[in-house]
Structure 1
Amino acid sequence: MPVVFRYKSFRFFFYSNEGNPREAMHIHVRGAEGEAKFWLTPTVYLADSDGFDARTLRELRDAVITNKDLIERTWNDHFA
C-alpha cells in the first residue's frame, strides 16, 4: 500500500492490487475519523466515504487537487 503523501493527520495512498482489471486512477485517504476514495478523472470527485463530515471531505478533495500531479506520477510509476 504505497503512501503517496501525508496531509495533517491524513494518509493518501493506493493499494498495490487495485482489481482485475485495474480500477481507474484514484486515491484512498485514511484518518482517525474515517476513510474516503477519490477518483482523479475526468475531474477529482468523491467515490465514497465513511466517517468524514462534509467540511473534511472538501478539505481532502482540495488536498487531492493540489497534489494531483504527484498522485498521477506515483500511480504511473508504480503500475508501469
Structure 2
Amino acid sequence: MSPTVFREKGYRFFFFSREEERPHIHVVSANGESKFWMEPAIEVAKNYFHSAKQVKEIEQLIREHQHDIISAWNRHFRSGSY
C-alpha cells in the first residue's frame, strides 16, 4: 500500500507501507523518483533522475507541506493502518 499525501506541480508525494520507521516521503514524477528524510532535517535520501532544479523544487514543496506530511505519517504508521 502506498497512500498519496498530496499531488502538486506534477509530483506525487506518498509513503510505502511497511518501510523504515524514520519519517520520510517518496516523490515521483514523469522524470524520476526521490526519497526525502523528514527528520531530523529535510534532506534527500535517494534521487533517481530528478534534476538539481527539480530536487530544489521538491524540497520547497516538502517544506511548505511539512506539517501535513508529518501528520499523515503519524496517522498512517502510528495507527497501525498499514
On whether the aligned pair clears a TM of 0.5, the verdict is yes
| Residue among 26, 36, 39 paired with 1:28 | 26
Deviation of residue 43 (structure 1)?
1.2
Aligned to 2:40, what secondary structure does the other structure show? coil
Identical-pair percentage: 40
Aligned to 2:44, what secondary structure does the other structure show? strand
How large is the Cα RMSD of the aligned pairs?
0.8
Give the ranges of 4+ consecutive aligned residues of structure 1 lying more than 4 Å apart after TM superposition.
none
Deviation of residue 74 (structure 1)?
0.3
Aligned equivalents of 1:16, 1:23: Cα separation in 2 = 10
Q: Please, what TM-score do these two structures have when normalized by structure 2?
A: 0.90
The residue correspondences of 1:2-21 to structure 2 (distance < 5 A) are: 2-18=3-19
Aligned residues: 77
Deviation of residue 17 (structure 1)?
1.4
Unmatched 5+ residue regions in structure 2? none
